[in-house]
Amino acid sequence: MKKILSILLVLVLVSSTVFAAGTQETAAPAKPQELSGTFTWWTFFDQAPFLKEQFEAAYPNIKVNLEMFGGNEYQTKLMTTIMSGQGVPDLMDLEEGYVYKFIESDKFADLSKLGGDALVKDYYSWAVAMGRDSKGVLKGICDNVSPVAFWYIRSAMQQWLGTSNDVEIAAKLSDWDKILTVARDVKAKSNGTVFLLPNLGEMVKVEGYSITPFVRDGKFNIDPAWYNVIKLMRTLHSEGLVANLGSWSGEWATAWNSGKLLIRVMPSWDFFADWKVNTGNVGVAKPPKNSYEGGTYRAIYADSNQKALAMEFLKFMTSAQFQTANLEKNNQMPANRSVTLALSKTYSAERFGGQNLLATYDAISSNIKDITPDKYTRRAQNLFSKYAQEGVRNGLSDEQIMANLKKALKDEYPEILGL
**pLDDT tens-digit map of 200-256:** 999 999 999 999 999 999 999 999 999 999 999 999 999 999 999 999 999 999 999
Which of the four pLDDT bands, split at 50, 70 and 90, describes residue 373?
Answer: confident
185 within some domain = yes
Q: Give the integer Cα–Cα distance in Å for 411 and 408.
A: 5
Mean pLDDT value of segment 303-311: 97
Does residue 370 belong to any structural domain of this protein?
no
User: What pLDDT does 100 receive?
Assistant: 86
Q: Given this model, what pLDDT does residue 29 score? A: 53
CATH code, domain with 325: 3.40.190.10
In a shared domain, residues 32 and 113: yes
Determine, yes or no, domain membership for 391. yes
Q: Are residues 125 and 163 in the same domain?
A: no
Residue 136 and residue 65 share a domain? yes
**Looking at the structure, do residues 233 and 382 belong to the same domain, yes or no?**
yes
Check whether residue 42 and residue 103 sit in a common domain: yes
pLDDT for 322 beyond 60 = yes
Residues 220, 344, single domain; the answer is no
Q: How many Cα neighbours within 13 Å face the side chain of 268? A: 25
Three-state SS annotation for the chain? CHHHHHHHHHHHHHHHHHHHHCCCCCCCCCCHHHCCEEEEEEECCCCHHHHHHHHHHHCCCEEEEEEECCHHHHHHHHHHHHHHCCCCCCEEEEECCCHHHHCCCCCECCHHHHCHHHHCCCECHHHHHCCECCCCCECCECCEECEEEEEEEHHHHHHHHCCCCHHHHHHHCCCHHHHHHHHHHHHHHCCCCCECECCCCHHHHHHHHHCCCCEECCEECCCCHHHHHHHHHHHHHHCCCECCCCCCCHHHHHHHHCCCECCEEEECCCCCCCHHHHCCCEEEECCCCCCECCCEEEEEECCCCCHHHHHHHHHHHCCHHHHHHHHHHHCCEECEHHHHHHHHCCCCEHHHCCECHHHHHHHHHCCCCCCCCCCCHHHHHHHHHHHHHHHHHCCCCHHHHHHHHHHHHHHHCCCCECC
Confidence check: pLDDT of 281 > 80 = yes
Q: What range does the domain containing 394 cover?
A: 200-240+376-419
Q: 276 and 159 in one domain?
A: yes
Task: Give domain status of residue 371, yes or no.
Answer: no
| Closest C-alpha among 209, 245, 243 to residue 229 | 209
Check whether residue 247 and residue 235 sit in a common domain. Answer: no
pLDDT exceeds cutoff 50 at 20:
no
* Co-location of 93 and 210 in the same domain: no
Domain identity same for 207 and 277: no
Mean pLDDT of the chain: 92
Where among 328, 343, 365 does a domain terminate?
A: 365
The model's confidence at residue 277, banded by pLDDT at 50, 70 and 90, is: very high
Q: Is the pLDDT of residue 265 over 80?
A: yes
Whether residue 406 lies inside any domain: the answer is yes
Number of domains in the chain: 3
- Give the pLDDT of residue 242: 98
pLDDT at position 364 over 80: yes
Question: How far is residue 130's CA from residue 142's CA, in Å, rounded to a whole number?
Answer: 9
Confidence of residue 97 (pLDDT cuts 50, 70, 90): confident
Nearest to 290 by CA among 399, 219, 205: 205
Q: pLDDT value at position 370?
A: 75
Distance CA 258, CA 140 (A): 40
What's the confidence (pLDDT) of residue 24? 43
The answer to whether residues 75 and 41 belong to one domain is yes
* Beta pairing class for 62-68 and 91-95: unpaired
> 149-180 pLDDT, tens per residue?
999 999 999 999 999 999 999 999 999 999 99
